[in-house]
Amino acid sequence: MPKVLIADKLSPAAVAIFKERGVEADVKTGLTKEELIKIVGQYDGIAIRSATKLTADVLKAAKNLKVVGRAGIGVDNVDIPAATAAGVIVMNTPFGNSITTAEHAISLMLALARELPAANASTQAGKWEKNRFMGVEITGKVLGLIGAGNIGSIVADRAKGLKMRVIAYDPFLSQERANDLGIEKVELDDLLARADFITLHVPMTSETKNILSAEAIAKTKKGVRIINCARGGLIDEQALKAALDSGQVAGAALDVFETEPAKENVLFGNEKVVATPHLGASTSEAQENVALQVAEQISDYLLTGAITNALNMPSISASEAQKARPWISLAQKLGSFAGQLTGASLTGVEVIYEGTPSMLNTRALTQAALAGLLKPMLAEVNMVNAPVIAKERGVKVSETRRDAQGIYEGYIKIVVSMTDAKGETSTRRVAGTVFSDGRPRLIQIKDINLDAEFAPHMLYVVNEDKPGFIGKLGTMLGDAKVNIANFTLGRSAPGQDAIALIEVDGPVPGAVADAVAKLPMVKHAKPLAF
């Protein structure tokens, strides 16, 4: 009988589901890291919320662990690379608490607008400061959404019901989807300049960290009010304090903080700040929903091999897995390659399967490609919910299957359609195959043929094909102590565009990539990670 540890407080209904499905469940909450390490090796699965930290050390001790189920969206408390390396599937429940989180954001916005916490404290202290608390109406005000995904779109709907005007910044939001939501799609600087209220609904990634920096806050409308129920670290807290002190920001309502538990914070003690202890998903309905979902998902996997809402594996049956796994890996990496190089709004994705992969479960392959494509901007994306998220953003997804026609027994090509801020359209093409060794390889970029393996850290360079380029590039990387492990070149024709893919031993510093981009023959340079 499979054995599961429930390491954080979940609804009793979750325990009941495990028992009904024939899975043994132990409830042991509040364990220290050391206590968890001692017992984790006994379990096939772990169900957690946000309190338990599954670090690399814990996962190393989990010799029998097969699956981690997070009741909720965020998986900041799980070392996913370590879990993947250990062969542990990490699942979440991405949609179980969306309404609850959206409602909390609206509640904080209303409390902030009318200064309710301060007025409550004053009144209960025996004061009657009727003229002290002069709030603002929200009717007719502009609400700026940073992130218009699942939760952001619910916030937009509720705000429209309150007669607010809603604008949104989201690189993955199509104009069609914006029209369906009845909101205006804008660039970030435009949102900052126009919004009376700003609410954040994006994951924490390298690209969204401190998206409200000191520089960004300085661009906001004077007297703006800011709400964050997404993730700590999206706002520079020191910069926010300075803006509150100067009056640039009239108030802030925060449910999340850069360091949690936030028992101390530079923003605490300020009457302009409304703070709650990460309550976004804390309603009885949401807790019940995510608990039931995580118990069902863990049970399904342990008993049948079915994978649902996994962040590091696709949705695929056990019988298909062995044959499809290398092609799934290829599809994900091709998508990731295109996603890391995509700066404009996505409008469409076509995945072309020729030969061998056309005979597989292409739905799983396409899901893997979409997950890779969307992942650079949306950390919560997985291979199951990627199609839903793409649809929400108006991204049209299509598949084409055909028999083998060229020199390869099979390959996958991804064609990404994009529209920039000026309304100009463009496409990006990338193709790859799987050789007999089972390792995925790049075979074509921008219709330029080459042959390159994917590596954890790479530098992608588009340059003019002129003598001396390789020497200059190699010298620059060497001077920067960036060691080259492999170097692959391809070109469209002599003297025209060329592509260099450089495998390096570690992450390429941003300053080094910028310096490469400034070389006379270089058109584009971008560090990549796989």
Burial of 264 (C-beta count, 10 Å sphere; 0-12/13-18/19+): exposed
Nearest-angstrom CA–CA distance, 68 and 382: 14
Calculate what percentage of the chain has a pLDDT beyond 90: 55
Residue 473 is predicted with a pLDDT of 87
Tell me what pLDDT residue 364 has: 83
| DSSP label of 304 | H
Q: What is the pLDDT of residue 380?
A: 67
Asked whether the predicted pLDDT for residue 321 surpasses 80, the reply is: no
Ordered alpha helix ranges (H), 12-97 = 12-21, 33-39, 56-61, 80-85
**CB-count burial class (<10 Å; 0-12, 13-18, 19+) for 382:** buried
Residue 448 exposure: Cα atoms within 13 Å on the Cβ side: 21
User: Cα–chain-centroid distance for residue 317?
Assistant: 25
Dump pLDDT digits (tens) for 420-433: 777 788 888 999 99
Confidence at residue 319, expressed as pLDDT on a 0 to 100 scale: 61
Geometric angle at alpha carbon 329, from 323 and 335, rounded to 5°: 135
Identify the residue with better confidence: 17 or 325.
Answer: 17
* Confidence bin at 73 (pLDDT 50/70/90): confident
pLDDT at 207: 85
Q: 24 and 64 in contact (C-beta within 8 Å)? A: no
Instruction: Tell me how far CA of residue 103 lies from CA of 73, 137, 228, 276, in angstroms.
Output: 16, 18, 12, 14
The residues carrying an active-site annotation are 231, 260, 278
pLDDT tens digits along 504-526 = 998 888 889 899 888 888 888 88
Identify the pLDDT of residue 320. Answer: 66
The residues with which 416 forms a beta bridge, in sequence order, are 349, 428
Give the highest mean pLDDT range of 89-93, 214-218, 293-297, 451-455: 214-218
460 in helix, strand or coil?
strand
According to the model, what pLDDT value does residue 525 have? Answer: 87
pLDDT tier at 61, thresholds 50, 70, 90: very high
What pLDDT, on the 0 to 100 scale, is given for residue 215?
97
Of 290-294, 304-308, 397-401, which gets the smallest average pLDDT?
304-308
Q: Do domains 1-95+281-313 and 457-530 have the same CATH topology?
A: no
The whole-angstrom separation of Cα 228 and Cα 155 is 12
Q: Where are the beta strands (DSSP E) in 172-329?
A: 184-185, 197-200, 224-228, 249-254, 273-275
Cis peptide before 261 (omega within 30 of 0): yes
The C-alpha atoms of residue 313 and residue 482 are separated, in whole angstroms, by 32
355 closest CA partner among 304, 413, 316, 307: 413
**How high is the pLDDT of residue 203?**
85
Q: How is the chain split into domains, by residue range?
A: 1-95+281-313, 98-275, 314-445, 457-530
The crossing angle, in degrees rounded to 10, of helices 284-304 and 12-21 is 20
When pLDDT is averaged across residues 231-248 and rounded to a whole number, the result is 96
| 257: confidence class by pLDDT, cuts 50, 70, 90 | very high
Average pLDDT over residues 23-39: 95
280 neighbors 83 (Cβ within 8 angstroms)? no
d(CA 405, CA 190): 48
Average pLDDT, the chain: 90
Task: Looking at mean pLDDT, say which of 275-279, 445-449, 465-469 comes out highest.
Answer: 275-279
pLDDT at position 375:
87
% of the chain beyond a pLDDT of 70: 97
| pTM, rounded to two decimals | 0.64
Contact present, 213 and 188 (Cβ < 8 Å): no
pLDDT at 323 over 80: no
Q: Is the pLDDT of residue 288 over 60?
A: yes
Per-residue model confidence (pLDDT) at position 520: 85
pLDDT class of 70 with cuts at 50, 70, 90 = very high
Check if the beta carbon of residue 221 is closer than 8 Å to that of residue 193.
Answer: yes
Residue 304's pLDDT is 80
**Can you give the pLDDT at residue 495?**
74
- Which among 237, 219, 220 has a CA at the least distance from the CA of 228? 237
CA distance 14 to 27: 10
Q: Give SS3 for 406.
A: coil
State the amino acid at position 347 in one-letter form.
T
SS3 label, residue 45 = strand
318 pLDDT exceeds 60? no
Task: Provide the residue type at 21 as one letter.
Answer: R
**32 close to 10: Cβ distance less than 8 angstroms:** no
Q: What is the pLDDT of residue 16?
A: 93
pLDDT at 315 over 70: no
pLDDT at 157 over 70: yes
Q: Which CATH class is domain 457-530?
A: alpha beta
Q: Indicate the CATH number for domain 98-275.
A: 3.40.50.720
pLDDT of amino acid 63: 92
Q: What is the pLDDT of residue 503?
A: 92
Question: For the segment 360-418, what is each residue's pLDDT rounded down to a tens digit?
Answer: 888 889 988 998 998 887 776 776 578 878 888 888 999 999 887 777 889 999 999 98
Query: Quick one: pLDDT at residue 114?
Result: 95
Domain 314-445 has CATH 3.30.1330.90: yes
What is the side-by-side order of every strand in the sheet holding 45-48? 24-27, 3-6, 45-48, 67-70, 89-92
* Lowest pLDDT segment from 34-38, 53-57, 396-400, 403-407: 403-407
CB 65 within 8 A of CB 25: no
List Cα–Cα distances, 58 to 34, 39, 48, 413, in angstroms: 9, 10, 14, 39
Residue 470 has pLDDT above 60, yes or no: yes
Topology annotation, domain 1-95+281-313:
Rossmann fold (3.40.50)
